[in-house]
């Protein structure tokens, strides 16, 4: 069997994202003081968020120490000031959040409220009250000299007993008109959060990814976007892979495409190779940046999800748990009965060239064991013999690759009075090595003598220039590829410039 290394290019495409305002936000210098710029985020439960998961806190993280971002979100808040019976609804107007948002003395107020006005009870009166009550609520901020930004409500994907078009069409339109009538900048968050239902799992509220998108949108449009342009970048990666920018986790679709918006700057990139190996990288990203990562020998796990058999099982910790891809957690381990010897093997389902085995021991580990291979699960060849095992995470690299179908750990002495317990056993193959299911038609572009590179290699500016209309639109993509390996971009975090 031959082995080769392989680099896959990443497909990039870019499209203009949201058009937005060239609004001149105050800067620390413009403020003329050493004090922090105060940012008040006013809204409903979508602003309040859940615990630490809320967009104002993400915005604070993006903006850094020069700013103080406060969350004045209140669950259930609506613009409406009158109830159906004509009496005043004190809920928002009399709330602590509203009062404190006015007393805060914000330099910048981001006002995003309207989703709860899309509910049937309120919405039937929307034309009567929304604009007037909205103006009543935001007038104190304007009177105090705050720079007010009106945001359309985030995209509604589903609403109990109501039509999402209430929010996405009529109320959005009214919010746009309000910005014009009040002569304040608009941030069209409704559009910026469209087409990402996975980020708004209950139909209205963001998960961390959804709130990251909202924070990034305000970051761009309120604070950091003199050109007012966002770029949508497509990352091509393994189908189902998770890709993140900051905390903006996205799931690759069935074609392996992930889209998110990127910004110029310095990025810290963290990539997870095949579920265990982390590579980090610092990248100066300006126009067009493509990162490629190459796996080394032993980086490819070929045993995940394969059928497993053990000498015994205890308490539901079945053999398959040691091959479920999870390397920790009580629900993810195999446990034998408390006796010597005990064994566990995996069926790779075809003869496979393997280079070693990685073990994630639970506290009940083996002090003596062997790693064995077999073609028939009857006759076993010992590849590694351990007599002083210490548990934990241990990788056994074979002296030379061997082709086998079955791989077994054969425990001969327990380190404790308890059983043998393994969170995960990973059978390793050479990166890029042919594995069952590999398309034989693919041509390896191996360079003989190429040295495996432990560090991620950067190949900047090898993508076509992005069509531009004035501003420079940055593109960035990161990913990695090896046949059969799962490569995940864990974070692409933009550092402060
Ligand atoms: Ca496991």
Domains of the chain: 1-17+229-296+461-497 (no CATH), 21-224 (3.40.50.1110), 300-429 (2.60.120.260)
Closest Cα partner for 212 from 54, 31, 22? 54
* Distance from the alpha carbon of residue 346 to the mean position of ligand 1, in angstroms: 13
Cα of 409 from ligand 1 centre, angstroms? 15
User: How many Å lie between the centroid of ligand 1 and the Cα of residue 424?
Assistant: 4
Would you give the distance in Å from CA 99 to the centre of its chain?
A: 35
User: What is residue 360's predicted lDDT score, i.e. its pLDDT?
Assistant: 96
Q: Determine contact, residues 286/274, Cβ cutoff 8 Å.
A: no
Determine the distance separating the centroid of ligand 1 and the alpha carbon of 422, expressed in angstroms: 7
Distance (Å) from CA 427 to ligand 1 centroid? 13
For residue 322, how far is its CA from the centre of ligand 1 (angstroms)?
4
Determine the pLDDT at residue 126: 92
What's the rounded Cα separation, in Å, for the pair 349 and 305?
11
From ligand 1's centre to the CA of 324, what distance in Å?
A: 5
Q: Rounded to the nearest whole angstrom, what is the distance from the C-alpha of residue 106 to the centroid of ligand 1?
A: 50
Tens digits of residue pLDDT in 446-489: 333 333 333 333 333 333 232 222 222 234 454 444 434 555 66
**What does the buried/exposed string (b/e) look like for 458-471 if buried means 16 or more CB atoms within 10 Å of the residue's CB?**
beeeebeebeeeee
Centre of ligand 1 to C-alpha 439, Å, is 28
Report how far ligand 1's centroid is from the alpha carbon of 319 (Å).
Answer: 9
- List the structure tokens of 458: 């950067």
Q: What is the mean pLDDT of residues 12-26?
A: 25
Given a contact cutoff of 8 angstroms between Cβ atoms, the answer to whether 323 and 427 are in contact is no
From the CA of 361, how far away is ligand 1's center (Å)?
10
pLDDT of 253-300, one tens digit each? 666 666 555 556 677 777 666 665 667 778 776 655 666 666 665 667
**CA of 426 relative to ligand 1 center, distance in Å:** 10
Whole-angstrom distance, CA of residue 276 vs CA of residue 361: 15
Region 424-432: what's the mean pLDDT?
A: 81
Whole-number Å distance between alpha carbons of 181 and 171: 15
User: How far does residue 360's CA lie from ligand 1's centre (Å)?
Assistant: 8
How many angstroms separate the alpha carbon of residue 364 from the centre of ligand 1? 15
Rounded distance between C-alpha atoms, residue 12 and residue 462, angstroms = 11
Binning the chain into helix, strand and coil, the percentages to the nearest 5 are: 20, 35, 45
Q: Compute the distance from residue 410 Cα to the ligand 1 centre, in Å.
A: 18
pLDDT tens readout for residues 200-219: 889 999 988 788 888 878 88
Asked whether the beta carbons of 231 and 475 are under 8 A apart, the reply is yes
Question: Higher confidence at residue 128 or residue 444?
Answer: 128
How far does residue 317's CA lie from ligand 1's centre (Å)? Answer: 10
Q: How confident is the model at residue 388 (pLDDT cuts 50, 70, 90)?
A: very high
Q: Could you tell me the distance, in angstroms and rounded to a whole number, from the CA of residue 315 to the centre of ligand 1?
A: 15
Distance 275 CA to ligand 1 centre (A): 12
Taking only the tens place, the pLDDT of each residue in 110-139 is 999 999 999 988 899 899 899 999 999 999
Burial of 124 (0-12, 13-18, 19+ CB in 10 A): exposed
How is residue 243 written in tokens? 């890709």
- pLDDT-based confidence at residue 438 (cuts at 50, 70, 90): very low
The predicted-structure confidence for 66-117, as pLDDT tens digits, reads as follows 889 999 999 989 998 777 676 766 678 889 999 999 999 998 999 999 999 9
Query: What is the pLDDT averaged over residues 427-447?
Result: 44
Question: From the CA of 452, how far away is ligand 1's center (Å)?
Answer: 29
How many angstroms is it from 239 CA to the middle of ligand 1?
22
**How close is the Cα of 320 to the center of ligand 1, in Å?**
8
Is the model more confident about 459 or about 194?
194
Q: For residue 277, what are its two tokens?
A: 């190996």
**Torsion angle of C-alpha atoms 437, 321, 244, 429, degrees rounded to 10:** -40
Mean of per-residue pLDDT scores for the chain: 75
**What element of type H or E holds 190?**
helix 189-192
């Amino acid at each position: 069997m031959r082995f080769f290394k392989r680099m896959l290019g990443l497909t990039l495409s870019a499209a203009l994202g949201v058009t937005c305002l060239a609004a001149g936000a105050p800067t620390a210098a413009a403020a003329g003081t050493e004090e922090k710029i105060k940012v008040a985020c006013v809204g409903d439960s979508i602003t309040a968020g859940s615990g630490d998961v809320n967009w104002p806190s993400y915005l604070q993280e993006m903006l850094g120490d020069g700013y103080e971002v406060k969350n004045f979100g209140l669950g259930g808040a609506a613009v409406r000031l009158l109830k159906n019976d004509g009496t005043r609804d004190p809920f928002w107007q009399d709330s602590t959040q509203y009062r404190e948002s006015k007393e805060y003395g914000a330099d910048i107020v981001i006002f995003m409220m309207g989703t709860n006005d899309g509910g049937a009870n309120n919405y039937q009166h929307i034309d009567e009250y929304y604009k007037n009550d909205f103006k009543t609520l935001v007038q104190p901020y304007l009177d105090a000299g705050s720079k007010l930004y009106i945001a359309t409500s985030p995209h509604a994907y589903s609403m109990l007993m109501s039509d999402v078009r209430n929010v996405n069409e009529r109320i959005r339109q009214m919010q746009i008109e309000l910005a014009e009538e009040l002569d304040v900048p608009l941030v069209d968050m409704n559009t910026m959060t469209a087409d990402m239902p996975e980020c708004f799992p209950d139909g209205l509220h963001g998960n961390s990814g959804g709130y990251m998108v909202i924070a990034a949108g305000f970051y761009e449009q309120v604070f950091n976007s003199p050109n007012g342009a966002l770029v949508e970048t497509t990352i091509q990666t393994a189908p189902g892979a998770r890709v993140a920018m900051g905390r903006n986790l996205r799931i690759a679709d069935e074609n392996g495409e992930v889209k998110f918006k990127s910004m110029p700057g310095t990025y810290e990139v963290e990539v997870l190779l095949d579920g265990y190996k982390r590579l980090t990288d610092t990248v100066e990203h300006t126009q067009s940046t493509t990162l490629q990562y190459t796996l080394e020998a032993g980086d490819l796990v070929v045993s995940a999800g394969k059928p497993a058999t053990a000498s015994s099982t205890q308490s539901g910790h079945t053999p398959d748990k040691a091959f479920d891809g999870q390397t920790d957690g009580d629900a993810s381990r195999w446990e034998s009965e408390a006796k010597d010897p005990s064994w566990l093997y995996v069926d790779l389902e075809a003869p496979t060239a393997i280079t070693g085995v990685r073990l994630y021991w639970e506290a009940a580990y083996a002090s003596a064991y062997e790693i064995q291979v077999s073609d028939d699960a009857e006759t076993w060849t010992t590849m590694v013999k351990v007599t002083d095992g210490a548990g934990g995470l241990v990788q056994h690299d074979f002296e030379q690759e061997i082709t086998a179908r079955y791989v077994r750990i054969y425990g001969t002495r327990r380190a404790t009075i308890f059983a043998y317990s393994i969170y995960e056993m990973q059978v390793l193959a050479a990166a890029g090595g042919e594995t069952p299911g590999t398309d034989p038609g693919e041509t390896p572009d191996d360079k003989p003598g190429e040295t495996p590179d432990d560090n991620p290699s950067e190949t900047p500016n090898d993508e076509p220039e992005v069509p531009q209309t004035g501003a420079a639109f940055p593109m960035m993509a990161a990913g990695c590829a090896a046949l059969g390996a799962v490569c995940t971009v864990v974070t692409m975090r933009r550092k402060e410039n």
